[in-house]
Amino acid sequence: MSEEIKKETMDDYAQELEDSLKRIHAGDVMEATVVAFDEEGVTVDLDYYAPGRIPAENMSADPFFSCMSDVNIGDQFKAIVTQVDDGSGNIILSKKDADQEYAWEKLQKMKEDRTLISGKISGVSNAGATMYVEGIRGFIPASRLDIRYVEDTEPYLGKQVNVLIHDIDEEGHRLILSAKELLTEAALQKKSEDIKQFKVGSIVKGKVETLKDYGAFVDIGNGISGLLHISQISDKRIKHPKAVLAPGQEIDVMITKIENGKISLSMKAVGESQEQEIEEEASEYKSEYVPNNPFADLLKDINL
């Protein structure tokens, strides 16, 4: 018995027919999926009977953007139709124009979520640096390129950096970025880990960094500094730390307190600790010392 062959009807092709009749016009926003790319541009699937093509210059406003290094098969994004037919049956689109139209909403969400953004510095000036995010030109002030103000921005040109979105002004088309928060958080985390190697009560060698009216800051290693209060410098009362200390001087200090990432030091405690050790050693030596007296052995067994 032969298998009955199902007769195909118009309904079986309803979706395909609808897609074929769907008209695309210049200015339409399309969902595009990358299927191929080369140095000249990107070929995308538009879920349409004709393929889409995005010229390299229409992929991004970022001057450092490269189809060969910044595009992957399967990437999905919005693109705006600029030409329905290029003469070879291709639909020409622009991702760059779509970025300009839809990026601000995405950037706002990235700001709210504190999304870490990695990108390359595309330009520098005395005031700061520029970097493109979602096709939008962002500005990083010199005060936010690093933890401290950056005087010379030239070395940052072409450098890969991590930033957060600091502020957005969509109407003024201004995007302010910042690397400072991420670098500060990383530095604090490292400092917290480094501080764990120090213990209260331990005596360490340090180098005087700066002198203040209230004391001195001393580097005790690995970039960690502690405060040596003026009251902990000497047994004698001094008017200013410079009476005893000088920048660059190497000293022994005792760690007396570690709290909230801050370390308190004392020179006085080192002296007191050394004096106590001397007294303990002297006491121990005295208790073990037996006078060399020959008459003591003769008299020890005699009952008087």
**pLDDT for the residue 22:** 62
Task: Provide the token pair at 40.
Answer: 């000249």
**pLDDT for the residue 17:** 47
| H/E element, 187 | helix 180-195
Cα-based angle 170, 142, 120 (whole degrees, multiple of 5):
70
Using the 8-state DSSP alphabet, how is residue 4 labeled? P
**pLDDT for the residue 278:** 56
**pLDDT for the residue 102:** 84
Torsions phi, psi for 74 (to 5 deg): 100, -10
Amino acid symbol at 213: D
Residue pair 183/89 in contact (Cβ under 8 Å)? The answer is: no
**pLDDT for the residue 21:** 47
> Half-sphere exposure of residue 101, counting CA atoms within 13 Å on the CB side?
13
> Half-sphere exposure of residue 214, counting CA atoms within 13 Å on the CB side?
2
> What are the 10-residue block averages of pLDDT along the chain, 304 residues in total?
51 53 80 94 89 93 88 93 84 91 89 94 94 91 95 95 93 90 92 89 94 95 91 92 94 93 92 61 54 55 54
**pLDDT for the residue 26:** 87
**pLDDT for the residue 282:** 53
Task: Provide the token pair at 223.
Answer: 């970039």
Calculate the CA dihedral of residues 57, 61, 67, 69 and round it to 10 degrees. 150
**pLDDT for the residue 192:** 86
Task: Provide the token pair at 128.
Answer: 């700061």
**pLDDT for the residue 175:** 94
pTM, two decimals, is: 0.61
Residue pair 230/217 in contact (Cβ under 8 Å)? The answer is: no
